[in-house]
Structure 1
Amino acid sequence: MGRTFRQSAPCPRGAAGSAIGLPIRTESPGARAARPVRRGRGEAPQDAAERGAQGARAERVAERLSGGAGRALTQTDTFLRAPRGRLKLRDCGVRAGGGVTDGQGQLIFYECPDSEGPKLSHYSISPTADPAGLVAVLSEALGVQGVVKKERRLYMVGQTRVHLDRVEGLGDFLELEVVLSEQQSPEDGERVARRLMEELGVQEEDLVAGAYLDLLLAGGSPT
């Protein structure tokens, strides 16, 4: 099993590791009028003009640091009931020519504290070519805790995955995931995350405790 400072990726091959993760709200469907644009739930446009001011800045900085426009993804995460940690089946889609590819998925188990600020996540990932069939079987066996649907733009900045997410029913978020090497400590990952927070203009008050699923189950309110 591996370590992360918490982030996800577009359907890689089987893997285990650790990461330091950092979810940050940049806009919500009920955001105050001072934001440049206000959107309804379930809408999924991807251009910077329709993001909040902080999200637009994060997008510009992420493009500059990564050297590209990022990768557009669609992801549906079905969270299954598990005795410990979190277990989810991710159905992945990559936007290409206006369509979405199917037949790609991942079964992901991870453990991560529900606290504000950078947090260490241990994860294991197994790919599947039949996410719909597998989620049907696992849902029958274990039960479903909830479903998170999102449009994601992924940027790679060094060892960090930068996600600009539009989560159905929640709004827009920025998520950082610093994937740790075997030689790195959680403190090393947190330093990387903090430096990137500064470049992206993220303040401590922007940080969100809990995962997208927790916010949805709580009615969309950040803690």
Structure 2
Amino acid sequence: MIEIEVKGYADDKVFERVRKNFKLIRREYHEDTYFQHPCRNFTETDEALRIRIRKFNGHFEAFITYKGPKIDPNSKTRWEIEVPVSDPDRHVEILESLGFKEVMTIEKTREKYYVDKGIVIMLDEVEGLGKFIEIEALAESEEAVGETVRILRKILISLGVKKFERRSYLELILEKEGSYGEAR
């Protein structure tokens, strides 16, 4: 599946516009732990492997996610494979036993809003980075990417987003800390 995602910087006004105009799906808390491959530099290949722990409404879910390189120059669109896991700690043990190294855990609160069939907006408050807005849709093929990105960007602009961002939260935090090269 292709995750078509457009992300921008947000402020209180952008958050308020989303809250006023779209239906809240739920509030979540995320702990995203990223891993580095023992033989391949994900920084150079533009890939990501993470375990996400998601908590909401007293519920707990965990997923292991592989994200391939970005396939669109104007968005964060990537091939994504995500699988639920029942015991994230044991999955970390497996990865570490295979030589994967933990890079960092990123914590954020997220509000998810329904926009239209197949389109969701997320309001993120990322520890150490601030407020962001993401809008995403899923596609089966790359042919849909260009037009979908155009539609998603238009929605974010209408909400007051002025600056877009293709880098992941992990990339932004590593750059902010000056340790980008050390994650290899």
Match of 1:193 in 2: 152
Tell me, yes or no, if structure 1 residue 118 matches structure 2 residue 75.
yes
SS of the equivalent of 1:216 reads helix
What secondary structure, in the 3-state scheme, does the structure 1 residue paired with 2:70 have? coil
Output the amino acid matched with 2:32. D
User: Which structure's residues are more often strand, by fraction?
Assistant: 2
Q: Paired residue for 2:115? A: 157
Contact 2:52-2:63 within 8 A present in 1 as well: yes
Number of matched residues? 169
What amino acid is aligned across from residue 58 of structure 1 in structure 2? V
1:91 is matched with 53
Match of 1:170 in 2: 129
1:105-135 Cα offsets, whole Å, 9 max, x none, are 0010012439874232110111011122212
TM-score, structure 2 as length reference: 0.79
Q: Which residue of the partner structure matches residue 60 of structure 1?
A: 16
Looking at structure 2, the residues matched to 150 and 192 of structure 1 have their Cα atoms a distance apart, in angstroms, of 26
Partner of 1:38: none
Letter in 2 for 1:187: G
Give, in whole Å, the separation in 2 of the partners of 1:152 and 1:109: 20
Aligned to 2:66: 109
The ranges of structure 1 where at least 4 consecutive aligned residues each deviate by more than 6 angstroms after the TM superposition are: none
> Structure 2, unaligned stretches of length 5 or more?
179-184
CA–CA separation in structure 2 for the residues paired with 1:65 and 1:101? 27
Moved more, 182-191 or 147-156: 182-191
Q: SS where residue 50 of structure 2 aligns?
A: strand
Per-residue displacement from partner, 1:40-98 (whole Å, max 9, x unpaired)?
Answer: xxxxxxxxxxxxxxx333333333443x234100111111113352111111111x2xx
Secondary structure in structure 1 of the residue aligned to 2:17 = helix
Matched position secondary structure for 2:146: helix
Counterpart of 2:106, as a letter, is V
SS at match of 1:190: helix
SS of residue in 2 equivalent to 1:89: strand
Give the residue type in structure 2 aligned to 1:148. Answer: I
Q: Is the 8 A contact 2:29 2:110 kept in 1?
A: yes
- Matched residue, 1:81: 36
Aligned mates of 2:96, 2:32 — CA distance in 1: 12
User: 2: CA distance between counterparts of 1:24 and 1:187?
Assistant: 17
- Cα distance in 2 for partners of 1:70, 1:199 equals 21
Partner of 2:2: 3
| 1:140 positional shift | 4.1
Instruction: Name the SS for the 1:110 alignment partner.
Output: strand
Query: 1:3–1:114: structure 2 CA closer, same or farther, 3 Å change rule?
Result: closer
Report the Cα distance in structure 1 between the residues aligned to 2:140 and 2:72, rounded to whole angstroms: 23
TM-score normalised by length of structure 1: 0.67
For 2:114, the aligned partner's letter is M
Identity %: 20
Secondary structure of 1:214's aligned partner: helix
CA contact (8 A) 1:74 1:152 kept: yes
2:98 paired with 1:136: no
Closer/same/farther in 2, CA of residues 207 and 185 from structure 1, 3 Å limit: same
